Every structure is written in C-alpha cells, then in structure tokens.
Amino acid sequence: KVKPQLEEKEGKTFDVFTAVEFKTQVVAGTNYFIKVHVGNDEFMHLRVFRSLPHENKSLSLHSYQSSKTKHDELAFF
C-alpha cells in the first residue's frame, strides 16, 4: 500500500518491492519499520505509520532510508 508513495517520492518505479523484515513500535498508532528489497542488491528501510482504527486513515509512508544492503540492521529511525 505504500509502494506508490515511495515511488512518487523517489521519482521512479520499482519492479521488485518485497518486504524481507519488519519491526513495530506502538505509539498513538503503530510505526512499522520495514526492510524492502527493491531489486538487484538494493534495499530500502521504510517507516510506515498506521493510525488507530477509529481514525479510519490509510497507511502512510512517514520516512525512508535508501542505499541499504541486505545485511544492514533494521533500526528505529
């Protein structure tokens, strides 16, 4: 659901977009930290926010880190 948001921010299309690891952080909703394989040996770390159910909002891409590798540790950011 956040792939189009990332593609818009990056100004490119990802043929590969596969989540390989994730962590969560409970706040006033939930932050998801997701390591995503975007092709070749390239990975990105995404911070996606899911609001509380009663707010009825869709997932939003809060921030991201590019130029990551498969072995980079997925950390809160």
Q: Are 59 and 50 in contact (CB under 8 A)?
A: yes
Give the whole-angstrom CA distance, residue 56 versus residue 46.
Answer: 22
User: Residue ranges of the domains in the chain?
Assistant: 1-69
Q: Is 55's pLDDT higher than 90?
A: no
Give the whole-angstrom CA distance, residue 17 versus residue 71.
Answer: 17
Q: Tens of pLDDT along 1-50?
A: 899 999 999 999 999 999 999 999 998 899 999 999 998 889 999 999 99
Q: Are 61 and 46 in contact (CB under 8 A)?
A: yes
* pLDDT of 76: 85
pTM (two decimals)? 0.81
